Structure 1
Amino acid sequence: MAILLTGAAGFIGFHVAQVLLARGDEVIGLDNLNDYYDPALKRARLEQLQGRKGFKLYQADIADVDAVKEAAAGADVRRIVHLAAQAGVRYSLVNPFAYIRANVLGHTVMLELARHLPKCEHLVYASSSSVYGGNTKLPFSVEDRVDSPVSLYAATKKSDELLSHAYAHLFRFPQTGLRFFTVYGPWGRPDMALYIFTKAIFEGRPIQVFNHGDMQRDFTYIDDIVDGVIKTLDNPPGPDAQGRPYRLYNIGNNKPEPLLRLIEVLENAIGRKAEKEMLPMQPGDVRATYADIDAIKNDLGFEPKTPIDIGVPRFVEWYRQYHKV
């Protein structure tokens, strides 16, 4: 039995692959190694995976139907962890077609692949906390309506959830969508705030603090995210009252942190003060995120364990080693 993992060179995908391989699973990785951020970081992650027993990588675009079919051909693929996507809220204002291709067309390709697999046990896919958009009720619950996206990225992720729901209804193969909340940690993405702040502080440049610092995020450490992904993967949903084997979960730390407190923890970990440039809210951004995790906690026993006071110093330690600073 093999697990097809899209986005294998990405931040979350890399960490998921490590855990799957460590427990003896066969992992077929799929990644197009695009240049949304420096591909050197993606290649460095892959260096940690390549050569390990059970791992094989296909460099391919998930929106390429034939390439995806080729990657799955000849392997007994029964589970799919679909994490590949065009990420980032602000970049969607610049290059919207990249989001439609990767997130909507690419997701449909993965659904079609799963639909035609002889023994598809479970498709787990990445959604995002951004789907909550303009919602003001906190914490965000999977029972909340999510009809007010404030970015194209959020709209594509909501589209993925709707597509998956339709496929679960029509073809009855098990699916779970995971709404990730602000993931951070070693090997993280350079376009995320923690990485951007850390780089600027080490280089002696000011950091840009949006909405004049009046922001909160449910920062979730990578190890906790991976624990949730694995628990989900190993527990496919049964049919609901309408016979659909489909569910959604939030995966967050269940503890929103003020942005200024994150910066303070980061300053302490680096040992330097940040020069702050206070700016207004950016288009497509939201003031606060906060995950209600009761559903995944009750169903699967998920329990985040890593506060920012532990996770941020771990990231800084990795940053120092990787960038040799």
Structure 2
Amino acid sequence: MRALLVVNPAATTTSARTRDVLIHALASDLKLEVVTTEYRGHARDVARAAAESAAGGEGVGLVVALGGDGTVNEVVNGLLHNGPAPETLPGLAVVPGGSTNVFARALGLPNDPVEATGALLDALRTGSERTVGLGLVSGAPGTADEGAPARWFTFCAGLGFDAGVVGRVEQQRERGRKSTHALYVRQLMRQLMSDPHRRHGTITLTRPDEEPAADLAAAIVCNTAPWTYLGNRPVYAAPKASFDTGLDVLGLERLGLAAASRYGTQLLTSSPERGPHGRHALSLHDLTAFTLESQAPLPFQVDGDHLGLRTNVAFTGVRRALRVIV
């Protein structure tokens, strides 16, 4: 099989020597072409080219992303640039190389890149694969954000508080700080102390044939569970979320110090059976289409990538969007 390996050389947990070993292992079983990314969006561009070649009856049958969740997201958006077509598009495989690797771990892959490469080769030999659902975001029609580019996400998106934390972490990384769980915790505390909308939410969630849910301070949208990891500890914002269903939402109405402490404790002790809960916590399961609208511009993120400020975002849960080797 012809395969394209997209390598992020800045991946947090892989060295140049490790990447060379992984490339050699994959090349022993595949007709492998290797592309090392050189700029933001490069992984998306090469995956799009691979998808378009495959649609024309040529090109690769598999795209392997070696990197973190950001690299995976770019590859997915490249593959699905013209929409889902699992039977004709190249399959996706992931070798985790980032600091968290939520998508890969949610698929059940080992977090160690060498072990994950071995699992990938075993899956290719046995023909093991699954077709997963994904989330799609776009600017809500008739709003100032209508022209915002559509973006696929693999495991989560967020408007408000959690996206503000992601934005702060990205700023620190641009200044040379290493992405660590301690960095996330520090930026979370700073966002908590400075967020002007944490006590009085500005977000309204609307969906067809249902009453709107208003005054949310944060909205976390999950395409799978867990939502993230703290080291080896899985954290469940929406425990019922699955690659086989639509999208799940956790909405929090208040994030004052007491409420934030309570929800933080619930997240740290969350399980596949129970996530954050309470009178001011909204949990919705298996949604196909909904919109988040804010009275004020708020931070927005998908798969841990901060996309700036938004006031209106339309969400679609797309079942069976992409074929994954696993």
Answer whether TM exceeds 0.5 for this pair.
no
User: How high is the TM-score relative to the length of structure 2?
Assistant: 0.30
User: How high is the TM-score relative to the length of structure 1?
Assistant: 0.30
**Which one has a larger percent strand, Structure 1 or Structure 2?**
2
Higher relative contact order (CA 8 A, sep 6+): 2
**Which one has a larger percent helix, Structure 1 or Structure 2?**
1
